[in-house]
Structure formats: C-alpha cells, structure tokens
Amino acid sequence: MEQLIYTLLAYINNSLDKDINYSIAKSLLEHIDKIERFSLETAAEACNVAPSTINRFCKRLGFRNFSHLRSSAAMQVGAYSGDEYEKLLSPDMLEKKLKENIEMIANIKTEQLERVASSIYESKKIVILGFEKNQIQALELQKRLLLLGKFCECSTNLFKQVDALSLLTEEDMIITISIQGNILMEELAIIDKIEMAKGKKLLITFSDALKQQEVFDELLQCGKIENSAVSAYTLLRLFDVLVYRYQEQYSSRNWSK
C-alpha cells in the first residue's frame, strides 16, 4: 500500500492541471483503505468515471491495469503495537539499526565502488530514479554529483522520468533507488521499462531478494530490510562513500569532460 500512496501523491503533486486524472488520484487516496475490496466498477463509481477511464489511469501510473493497482493496495505497511513502536523510536534502537547499515556499507568492496564511479563518469546521460520515500535522497545525490561536475537528471515528476527511459542509449546510465524493492512488484510495469531501457543500470536497495535480479548491472545493498526505518540516514552515508570514491578518481577531470 505504501508505494501506491507515494505514487498517487506524486501524481497529484506534479499535476499542473486539476483534470480528470487528478480527480481520480484524489478519489483513490480518499478511499485508500477500501481499494483492495473494490471491483473495477466500484472504483469507477467512487471516482465518478467510466471503468475504461480507471484502467487508462492505472496504466498512466505504471500499473498494468486496475487489478494490479488493487493488489498493491493489499500489501499492508507493517503495523506496530504501542510497545513495538516505542521501541522502534528509541535512540538506542535507531543507533543500532544505523550502525548495522553503516557496517554493511563499509563492507562494500572497493572494486565495486570503483566500477560504479567509473560508470557514472563515463556515462553521457544519467537518470536517477528515487522510489518509495527516498526521492529527497535521490535529489541529494544529484546535487552532490553536480558539485563534482557531473550533471544527472532527477525529476520530481517520476512518471515523466520513467517515460524518458526509452530515449536512453548504451552510453547512458540509470541509477534506481528502491530500498524495499517495491519497484520490482509484479503489479508495476516500471521494472519492464527499466529492463527495456538501454545503458548501464545500478540498483541501490536494502533487499536481499534482489541479489539474483538480472535487470541491473550493479546492485549496492547498503542496509538490512528490517532497518528501513533509518534508510534516509543510510543513503546519505552511502552517498558520502560513493561521492568520495568518485571525487578521488575523477573530480579534477570532470568539468572539462
């Protein structure tokens, strides 16, 4: 459900016109707790549009159809009891989770970091895709690389950015940030667009399950999936390490490249 909420909010936040699609996104958010029980016809009635319009909207968001959007709504965000939530928010627990993730980053082999830095340097065009709640961190990576002379695209309009993947060439690169691996959900067609796109592909994630994923040329696992609560801090640490490696290798040459 979490990814669906981010997707619908992103659509609303990036809509210049309050058109029919804006209205559908708003109505679905207002019924977010009921969507998994909706039929296509019920959803259409709730949004005051035809069923075919709902399916077109779902495809616009990157879902294959309403059935797949509904399935994503059934994936519940982890709920915590009062005691569990209090423990999660405790300074000691946050420190423990962050320390575990930082240790994973420290164990990333230098050779892999150098390969990633080399791919970034050699690529003519780079697109950074930030999924789930990590689009802000994606913008931070864009800023840091710009300060080293490497311009990357990182639009806050995720749908526009995904559509642009078809224009990439073998000389380009996609950096995908998907902490929990929701980008690979069967319900979303986004992974198909990444797979069909040309160029080098890097995935930054916490998910163990993605290690065998053949879509990406490189996978940087920088944390444990159970430590997703500190993903924002973890990503900033990873970017510190990656940008330092890039700076060591290429910063003096990049502005003139």
- Report H helices in 133-196: 135-147, 158-163, 190-196
Report d(CA 84, CA 225) in Å as an integer: 17
**Residue 251 confidence (pLDDT) above 90:** no
**Residue 111 confidence (pLDDT) above 70:** yes
Six token digits for residue 95? 């420190």
> 215-225, pLDDT tens digit by residue?
899 999 999 99
Residues 6+ apart with CB under 8 A from 77: 1, 2
**Residue 135 confidence (pLDDT) above 70:** yes
- In three-state secondary structure terms, 81 is coil
What confidence score (pLDDT) does residue 46 get? 96
**Second CATH level (architecture) for the domain 2-73:** Orthogonal Bundle (1.10)
**Residue 82 confidence (pLDDT) above 60:** no
* 83 burial type by CB count under 10 A (0-12 exposed, 13-18 middle, 19+ buried): exposed
As annotated, the residues of the chain forming the CATH 3.40.50.10490 domain(s) are: 91-252
Distances (CA, A) of 27 to 23, 52, 111, 250: 6, 16, 49, 49
As annotated, the residues of the chain forming the CATH 1.10.10.10 domain(s) are: 2-73
Does the domain at residues 91-252 carry the CATH identifier 3.40.50.10490?
yes
Token pair 């000691």: residue = 92
Six token digits for residue 94? 């946050």
What confidence score (pLDDT) does residue 254 get? 56
pLDDT-based confidence at residue 14 (cuts at 50, 70, 90): confident
Percent of the chain with pLDDT over 90: 57
Report d(CA 86, CA 82) in Å as an integer: 6
Six token digits for residue 131? 């999924």
Q: From 245, 220, 216, 217, select the one nearest 145 (Cα to Cα).
A: 245
Q: From 75, 6, 64, 79, select the one nearest 35 (Cα to Cα).
A: 75
**Residue 186 confidence (pLDDT) above 70:** no
∠ CA 101-102-106 to the nearest 5 degrees?
120
Q: Taking the model in full, what pTM does it have?
A: 0.79
What confidence score (pLDDT) does residue 256 get? 47
What confidence score (pLDDT) does residue 220 get? 95
Report d(CA 180, CA 210) in Å as an integer: 10
What confidence score (pLDDT) does residue 73 get? 85
